[in-house]
Structure 1
Amino acid sequence: MCAAALLLLVIGASARPLFGATRTATAPVLTAAEIGFAQDMTVHHQQALLLAQRLDPAADQPVRRVAQEIEYSQRYEIGIMQGWLRLAQAAPTAREPMAWMASDMAGHGHHGSAATTSGTALPSIGAAMPGMAAPAELDRLSVARGLDGEILFLQLMLRHHQGGITMAQAIIEQTRTGAVLDVAREMLLTQRKEIGFLSALLVARNAEPLPFP
């Protein structure tokens, strides 16, 4: 993602005026769906960071490289989304996770509760997010080594990205805010490219992806 995305953050926030025509009324910076997306995608991204951090440090260089690239891009996107939420004076996480796309979740599977980068499970936050790894899967990844560790990481991250794409597509259908559209579309492009890398690395290890959804 280019540095212009940060400018889009400010432009997108200012596109919806903080104050309306009268001094007694205020207009929201972001819609409820946009706020929900930023809150929930932040949690989703945080688990991607956790997956990258739990990869075997001795994994082959191509696997470590893709993990590092994912970690970098998703940290950057977390910063953008949390910036939106601060401008909107919204909480960093949602009281009702995934409510913004609840109608789109029918038929989409999920895989347990979320976890933060500190490793703390958040069963109510992320329990309905597509592609999320279950706590038991995170525990397995923490101790997996060698080829088994590489395969498990690639499988979990690939499924995680598929879930992220589902969420990005959902907000694209609901938003008209330029900055949100641009970032969501960039997420689609980036994660599809990374899925290509993850899939190729799985094929090279004679392994299959996990079912999704």
Structure 2
Amino acid sequence: MTTTRVVRVAAFGCLAVMLVVLGAALRPLMFTEQAAPAEILSDNEIGFVHDMVAHHQQALFIAQRLNTNVDPAVSRLAQQIDDSQRTEIGMMLGWLRLVNVTPGSRTPMEWMHTASNSTDLAAHHGVVTSDATRGQASMPGMATMAELDSLTSATGVDAEVLFLQLMERHHRGGIVMAQAADELLADGPVKQSARDMITTQSQESGLMALMLAQRGAQPLG
């Protein structure tokens, strides 16, 4: 073997060793070992969305049980609420599908009572409900089946007043939930959605209180 060939073989050998060493050094940067998937939604986000779907669904029931023979202004408000909350339900169900959570599979309001190092956000926001008075454990603003049945059978001004009272109280409960979510969440689309709900439902709640006053009635406690 000539001297030139020996040098060439040695050079290729050194190059091969260098490539092996370099490859080993770069491997952690190029191929991560089954990195854990990024969290799509936090537990608090999932809890809020899960409960708000159920809360919105009852708003649809309230709107749908309003007698059609009422003041057109009340009918338009009921339709407006139905349309907006139906759209929000679709958005929230999409979020739940992303994390494989089935509606109705979680304890209502658990996120609000257990979040933030045992700080009771429900008490902070004045949520005081019971199974006996609401029929829904710790779900603020929810109507009972008896109240919904009364709305179904009501007509005329009585229907208008009862609808406005039930929906106004329901909105106040939704605002409480959205405010708690706004406090708990740092950022993201769920937090923004909660803020949008606070704005929209506060405006509608104020309008319903005014419409009740025009009919000589007051919001429910």
The residue identity in structure 1 corresponding to 2:139 is M
Aligned 8 A contact 2:143 2:166 in 1: yes
Give the structure 2 partner of residue 118 of structure 1. Answer: none
CA distance in 2, matches of 1:111, 1:191: 23
Give the structure 2 partner of residue 144 of structure 1. Answer: 154
Q: Could you say if the C-alpha distance between residues 22 and 60 of structure 1 is closer, same or farther in structure 2, counting changes exceeding 3 Å?
A: farther
Report the CA distance between 1:181 and its aligned residue: 1.4
Aligned 8 A contact 2:50 2:106 in 1: no
Aligned 8 A contact 1:141 1:149 in 2: yes
Instruction: Please identify runs of 4+ aligned residues in structure 1 that moved more than 4 A.
Output: none
Question: Residue 70 of structure 1 aligns to a residue in which SS?
Answer: helix
Give the structure 1 partner of residue 129 of structure 2. Answer: 110
Matches within 5 A, 1:115-130: 126-130=136-140
1:34 aligns with 2:45: yes
Return the structure number with greater helix share: 2
CA distance in 1, matches of 2:145, 2:130: 9
Give the structure 2 partner of residue 190 of structure 1. Answer: 200
Which has the higher Rg, Structure 1 or Structure 2? Answer: 2
Task: Report sequence identity in percent.
Answer: 50
Give the structure 1 partner of residue 64 of structure 2. Answer: 53
Give the structure 1 partner of residue 112 of structure 2. Answer: 101
1:163 aligns with 2:173: yes
CA distance in 1, matches of 2:138, 2:81: 22
Task: Report the TM-score, using the length of structure 2 for normalisation.
Answer: 0.77
Give the structure 2 partner of residue 77 of structure 1. Answer: 88
Report the aligned-residue RMSD.
1.8
For structure 2, list consecutive stretches of 5 or more residues without a partner in the other structure.
1-31, 114-119
Question: Residue 38 of structure 2 aligns to a residue in which SS?
Answer: coil
Task: Report the TM-score, using the length of structure 1 for normalisation.
Answer: 0.80
CA distance in 2, matches of 1:50, 1:22: 50
Report the CA distance between 1:109 and its aligned residue: 2.4
Report the CA distance between 1:69 and its aligned residue: 0.4
For structure 1, list consecutive stretches of 5 or more residues without a partner in the other structure.
1-20, 116-122
Report 1 or 2 for greater relative contact order, CA contacts < 8 Å, sequence distance ≥ 6. 1
